[in-house]
Amino acid sequence: MRIKKIVSFAMAAVMAASVLTGCGSSETSSEESAGTGNGSASQSGEKTVINIWSKDRHDANYVQQKVDEYNKNNTDNVEVVYTLYTDNYKQAIDMAAQNGELPDILVYQGEAFNKYRLNGNWADIYPFMDDDMKEYFSSVIFPGYNEFDGKLYFLPTTGSTCRLFYNKEIFDRVGIDGPPETLEEMVEDAKLITSELKGEGIYGFAENMKSANSALLRSMVIGLQRETGHPYGYDFAAGAYDFTDWADDLALWTELLSDECALPGCESLDIDPLRTQFAAGKIGMYFSYTHAEPGVYENQFPMDSSKWDVAPIPTSGGKEIGKQYYEATSAYMFNADSANLEQAFKTYKDIFTTEDYLIGYYEGGFGVSILPQIIEKAKPSENFQTKKWLQVNPETDALLPKPPHTAFTAGMIVEGEDMYKTAESIYYGGADIQSTLQDLTDRYNKAYQDAIANGSGYEIKIENYDPMNPTMQ
């Protein structure tokens, strides 16, 4: 063993979100909140109301403070209603898009962006940017990522990827000398921690497995990008899906989620309860996003920084064939049908693109800046100075091209369970790994070819694609 959040339409009935609204930070249910999401800034007396939706809890207090300052001091007679969805953000966007009730501004969410871009839901922001702004943000304009056909849809200001978070004290107690470098070692370490410390309610591993999508998109699927060179199971060189090389990881994940390794109840665990347990010293390891966790443990669930650290996601056998994605974060999308689109953009610019905001965001531990001007001036928190792997790292991380199911989400209809639920059927349901992954491969390739044939998609193939030096499509 190795030592070592406000909706005024029908969606309210299905939302269970906690929210932060308007000129304060009080929490209410979505049914009680006063904002509108109808694609136009409503009128409150003489003020124009700009509605912003967010999904991010880790920076909510910071953003609300800046919104409150803007509402108090702006000379445009504008009031911002800032809505935080603590759950069901994608479902809220889906329902709002279908009902023509999107808010003016939304925090960027990749699947929603990809799904509705081709429908024309998101505004091109280039017409609202002057030359100085274009120059300032030139380093975060990426063709094929946020710029398409000469249109720019959002401006990322921080970056995030996924890592392994581990409790150093727990490791020391059982004699583990550092984070695991392979997935096999991680299973071994999790078994050791659980076997020695479960009597104290301490377990080797946990993950927010209540949602296979949420869990695997911050863990296994990301590690597999480096391990196989096939982002989300897609081989860009061949122009086809192949999930069969997920087999080794899924076998190990079946062990990792067993009683020998994992916190009991992982199958119904959500991310914040997981973080609570980690902060309480009850979990040895878990996977999550680098932009969120430092702020969580500084502000939401306080934890001494010296007790935890971060490392790359271990891969099966230590294989590293490609880069793993990093997400450009702290970005905002704009409702193209907003009645006050120009004012919405000005409001966004006045709040979210000032150096005061951007420096404070980075220094507050809410995200890792990817803007050279901010990196040069900011003095980030100790976590970002001392924990190397919180940073986007060119050794392991890159912007990756989009496979078909994300490039034209609405156009590619996969029959049966998606890749995440299929994986769940293996590690929790005991499905045969090889035949299940081959069936998943066949179903995704059929959906892809059907999309090409009916014109709802197009061929995505990159000649001589190098997973270690990925290029955008």
Report pLDDT digits (tens) over 183-227. 999 999 999 999 999 999 999 999 999 999 999 999 999 999 999
Q: Residues of the chain with pLDDT > 90: what percent?
A: 78
Render the burial of 444-457: b for 16+ CB within 10 Å, e for the rest: bbebbebbbeeeeb
Contact between 359 and 176 under an 8 Å Cβ cutoff? The reply is no
Task: Give the residue from 341, 334, 340, 377 showing the smallest Cα distance to 357.
Answer: 377
pLDDT-derived band at 473, boundaries 50, 70, 90:
low
- pLDDT at residue number 395: 93
Beta strands 162-167 and 283-289 are antiparallel
pLDDT tens readout for residues 336-362 = 999 999 999 999 999 999 999 999 999
Q: Report the distance separating Cα 17 and Cα 12, nearest Å.
A: 9
Region(s) of the chain under CATH 3.40.190.10: 10-155+331-365, 159-330+389-473
Query: Which CATH code for domain 10-155+331-365?
Result: 3.40.190.10
Decide if 85 contacts 5 (C-beta within 8 A): yes
246 contacts 174 by C-beta, under 8 angstroms = no
Give the mean model confidence (pLDDT) for residues 403-421. 94
Q: What is the pLDDT of residues 425-471, one digit of tens each?
A: 999 999 999 999 999 999 999 999 999 999 999 999 999 999 999 97
* Cross-strand pairs, 335: 122
Does the structure show a pLDDT above 50 at 376? yes
CATH superfamily of 159-330+389-473: Periplasmic binding protein-like II (3.40.190.10)
pLDDT in tens, 109-156: 988 998 899 889 999 999 999 999 999 999 999 988 899 999 999 999
Q: Does 29 score more than 50 pLDDT?
A: no
pLDDT for residue 34: 35
The pTM score is 0.79
- Tell me: the pLDDT tens digits for 261-306? 999 999 999 999 999 999 999 999 999 999 889 889 988 899 999 9
DSSP string, 274-331: HHHHHHTT-EEEEEEETTTHHHIIIIIS---GGGEEEEPPPBGGG---SPEE-EEES-
- Phi first, then psi, for residue 158 (nearest 5°) are -130, 170
pLDDT above 60 for 9: no
Q: Band of the pLDDT at 35, cuts 50, 70, 90? A: very low
Both tokens assigned to 304: 């001494």
Look up residue 132 and give its two tokens.
Answer: 């100085």
CB 306 within 8 A of CB 168: yes
